[in-house]
Amino acid sequence: MAFPFKNLEDFKIEFEPRHEELRIRARRFAEIELKPRLFRIEKTGKIPRELIRKAGAEGFLGIGIPKIYGGVEGDLRDLAIVIEEIARISPAFGLTILVTYLFTIPVLLHGTEEQKKLLKKIVQGETYACHAATEPGGGSDLAGIRSIARRSEGGWILRGHKRFISGVDWADYFLILARALDASPEKRSRNLTFFIIERGHEKLRIILDECMGARGLSVGQIIMKDVYVPDSNVLGEIGQGLKIALETYSRMRIGAAALAVGIIQSSLESSLRYSLRRRAFGKPIIEFQSNQFKIVDVLSKLTASRLMLYWAANISKRSPRDLPIASSMAKLYSSGAAEDSAIKAIEIHGGLGVLVNALIERFLRDSEIVKMIEGTGEIQRIIIFRELLKRMEMLKDYY
């Protein structure tokens, strides 16, 4: 027994030849399509919409989605590889891709056949969709959601305020979490339900905010004042929202960890290139032991983060019930490592590291975003500890 897991088999990391082919293809996309546009994206705060269509054509938006809905083969291992390579150049665009999965995964798992028809255009990049759960009063306590849905003839009337919604400016469809008022009042979480809302509703208002990191991906607020949603747009069953949300977030924490690994990789590469080229006191600064130690620390964190990422992605296939604890550990460690690696990269670059035009300081800005998405470090620790407690019975039986 390898507590809190069953045995050593749970620590296997396995890949197939197609995974390396996918990695090469994702890196080529990042180098050719993203890298030449990176400076302009950072300066304007706008990602060209054509890039999401190109990503869709590459299959990056449809990983693990059946071909009948326009998707391609794959699982969380494939998604981790793609997001890591994209984030090496642009974490913002990596997050732009991930946002679509916050819509497509729950629709694929719980949607009706009619709702699944939306998937094809989304995975091809022709339309865009986002996920709206967080509110001004909090985002971690989903059971405390205050947006409400009241019964109406043939549907529901939604009122509420969503905040920190990524991709809100592009979205053609929103997956909204609200409290269905005619559901059982016995427990807060039982009322929560997801609703699909199409953009353009006259009583749905969008307000854009400005974020310090992930520049290029819009973030904003959604205000709903008596927005009518037909019964056909309810995702899953009434009161199933919390279950759907947790199921989705366990998978998406793999994507968040992959964003962090991409940032660490870029921090390492930039630090090596610069320290080999920059000279001080008559020699390259890489010859100074302080810089060598920083680079070694970044490399070590990169390796550990990547191994945890790939391990968590693999465990989703081998032992899905272990995904919540594995993905939370991967996200917790790698996001902290990304922040630390970004700071070391800035220190190695010296004055250049704090110049906006040098695009080095963005590592730190983007790492802070990665720390927040899919739950802060504190939330990950809560998830991990709760999962650990569930396994205490295993330990009791073992001894």
3-class state of residue 130 by DSSP: strand
Sequence-distant (6+) residues with CB within 8 A of 297 are 340, 341, 344
Residue 183 has pLDDT above 60, yes or no: no
On whether the CB atoms of residues 218 and 200 are closer than 8 A, the answer is no
What's the whole-number average pLDDT of the chain? 93
Lowest-confidence segment of 140-144, 220-224, 296-300, 341-345 by average pLDDT: 140-144
Of residues 284 and 140, more confidence is placed in 284
The secondary structure of 147-185 as a DSSP string is -EEEEETTEEEEEEEEEEEETTTT-SEEEEEEEETTS-S
CB neighbourhood size of 226 (10 A): 13
3-state secondary structure of 62: coil
pLDDT digits (tens, 9 = 90+) for 237-276: 999 999 999 999 999 999 999 999 999 999 999 999 999 9
Q: Could you tell me the residue ranges of all domains in the chain?
A: 8-127, 130-239, 242-398
CATH of domain 8-127: 1.10.540.10
Q: Is 90 exceeded by the pLDDT of residue 346?
A: yes
Mean pLDDT, rounded, for 181-208: 81
Give residue 137's pLDDT. Answer: 79
Q: Are 169 and 220 in contact (CB under 8 A)?
A: yes
Higher pLDDT, 394 or 278: 278
Specify the CATH number of the domain 130-239. Answer: 2.40.110.10
Contact 209, 168 (CB under 8 A): no
Instruction: Give yes or no for residue 43 having a pLDDT over 90.
Output: yes
Which of the four pLDDT bands, split at 50, 70 and 90, describes residue 180? very high
pLDDT of 140 reads 78
- DSSP-assigned states of every residue in 192-255: EEEEEEETT-TTEEEEEE--SSSTBS-EEEEEEEEEEEEGGGEESSTT-HHHHHHHHHHHHHHH
Contact 250, 330 (CB under 8 A): no
Q: With 0.85 as the threshold, say if the pTM is over it.
A: yes
| pLDDT band at residue 31 under the 50/70/90 scheme | very high
Helices 76-89, 17-29: axis angle to 10 degrees equals 30
Percentage of residues in the chain having pLDDT higher than 70: 95
pLDDT in tens, 122-146: 999 999 999 999 999 777 788 889 9
d(CA 54, CA 124): 8
Q: Which of 114-118, 186-190, 203-207, 372-376 has the lowest mean pLDDT?
A: 186-190
Pairwise pLDDT comparison (4 vs 61), residue with the higher score: 61
Q: Which amino acid is at 169?
A: D
Catalytic residue among 33, 374, 387, 393: 374
- Confirm if 216 and 92 have CB atoms less than 8 A apart: yes
Give kind and range of the element (H or E) at residue 129. Answer: strand 129-132
Degrees to nearest 5, angle at CA 102 with 97 and 105 = 105
How far apart are alpha carbons 266 and 281 in whole angstroms? 27
If DSSP codes are grouped into helix, strand and coil, which group holds residue 373? Answer: coil
Nearest to 180 by CA among 161, 203, 158: 158
| pLDDT value of residue 299 | 98
CATH topology of domain 242-398: Butyryl-CoA Dehydrogenase, subunit A; domain 3 (1.20.140)
User: If you count DSSP H runs as helices and E runs as strands, how many of each does the chain have, helices first?
Assistant: 13, 10
269 classed as catalytic:
no
pLDDT value of residue 398? 52
* Mean local confidence (pLDDT), 80-86: 98
CA distance 323 to 12: 14
Residue type, position 244, single letter: I
Per-residue pLDDT, 333: 98
Please give the pLDDT value at position 204: 93
Phi and psi at residue 289, to the nearest 5°: -60, -30
Higher pLDDT, 295 or 318: 295
Q: What's the pLDDT at 391?
A: 82
User: Is the peptide bond preceding residue 17 cis, with omega within 30 degrees of 0?
Assistant: no
Tokens representing residue 149 in the block: 């849905």
Confidence of residue 4 (pLDDT cuts 50, 70, 90): confident
Please report the pLDDT score of residue 143 as a whole number. 81
